[in-house]
Amino acid sequence: MKDEILNLLKKEAKISDEIDDADINDFADLIEEIGKNETNHIKSSEISKDLNTRYIGKNLYIYNEVSSTNTIAQFLSQNGIGNGSVVVAEKQTAGRGRSGKSWESPLGGVWLSVILTPDVDYSKIPLITLATGVAVAKALERIGVENPEIKWPNDIMINGKKVCGILTEGVTNFNSIKNVIIGVGIDANLSIEDFPKELQAKTTSLEIELERKINENLLIKIFLEELEQTIELFNSEAYEEILREWRKRSYTIGKIVEVKKPHKKPYDGYAIGISKEGALIVEKSDGSLEKVISGECIIKN
């Protein structure tokens, strides 16, 4: 984290190149100050206008380019920036996906992270990821996307192609969760050429699917509204309602999948449902059932 924070400060000419041994927490005010400026494409005034939330998105930090919005959000959360604050960037140079995978984040996408301070056990974080997927899907429905689907646990699909990824990270303090950082990356106004060649066949954007440019600020506003609604369900422990909305939009249930878990042999199975904890329930070839809490799930053709 330290190098990423120092690089942002140097890029914005807030510190000299010689400062490398400083305590980065001394620069929290500067990181906040940089984030209070609007960029060419992301405008806090447009996001905030008529924003129908009580706390999510009321505090916005907007940057031209960062390594990862999750990293900046984690840093800010450790320095007193609280519940519902949102970090947005025009571009990410080192966007992260699950299992350490990189996420392409060029100009034209929606790259943001939300800081939450839920009073929950670590085991509930998978449900926050599912709740966020529901919020993204509902936001896409509101801008005209027909039948967005959610691929367990963290991808949003349109017509069988990925348009959004979610990365939820817990910031722990000893054995308790201090903050949860929800990272969301939506391919908004990107063309097929903006994606690496190896991803072009299985990735899409909202511009491609809707055949029109997307107002990125409006999309962010709508997503923040939907996210607060689903997080309020989570906070009130209305987990079954979240799961019901997730199941309605599931891309995974009813398909043959390959499950890859760290340090274990991959196996194929039939995805039959989602548990109340947010685990994927898979029927293996021998007829036994397994709950997949974490890992990678690949849909088989």
Question: What confidence tens digit (pLDDT) does each residue in 136-189 have?
Answer: 999 999 999 999 999 999 999 999 999 999 999 988 777 678 899 999 999 999
Which pLDDT does position 101 carry in this prediction?
Answer: 57
Q: Please give the backbone phi and psi of residue 4, each rounded to the nearest 5 degrees, phi first.
A: -65, -40
Evaluate if residue 104 carries a pLDDT over 70: no
Which pLDDT does position 10 carry in this prediction?
Answer: 83
Burial degree of 172 (CB within 10 A; 0-12, 13-18, 19+):
exposed
* Contact indicator for 118, 91 with CB cutoff of 8 Å: no
The residue-averaged pLDDT of 37-65 equals 96
Instruction: Tell me whether strands 86-92 and 280-284 are parallel, antiparallel or unpaired.
Output: unpaired
Evaluate if residue 102 carries a pLDDT over 80: no
The residue-averaged pLDDT of 107-125 equals 91
Which pLDDT does position 98 carry in this prediction?
Answer: 52
Burial degree of 56 (CB within 10 A; 0-12, 13-18, 19+):
buried
What Rg value do the Cα atoms of the chain yield, rounded?
19
Which residues face 115 on adjacent strands?
181
Name the least confident of 2-11, 20-29, 114-123, 139-148: 20-29
Kindly report whether the peptide bond that precedes residue 106 is cis, defined as omega within 30 degrees of 0.
Answer: no
Name which of 70, 92, 73 is nearest 31 in CA terms. Answer: 73
Which pLDDT does position 244 carry in this prediction?
Answer: 97
Q: 294 pLDDT band (50/70/90 cuts)?
A: confident
More confident site: 121 or 61: 61
The residue-averaged pLDDT of 224-230 equals 98
Question: What confidence tens digit (pLDDT) does each residue in 233-269 have?
Answer: 999 999 999 999 999 999 999 999 999 988 889 999 9
Tokens for 242, please give them. 């979240």
Q: 89 pLDDT band (50/70/90 cuts)?
A: very high
Question: What confidence tens digit (pLDDT) does each residue in 122-131 have?
Answer: 888 899 999 9
Q: Tell me what the pLDDT averaged over the chain comes to.
A: 92
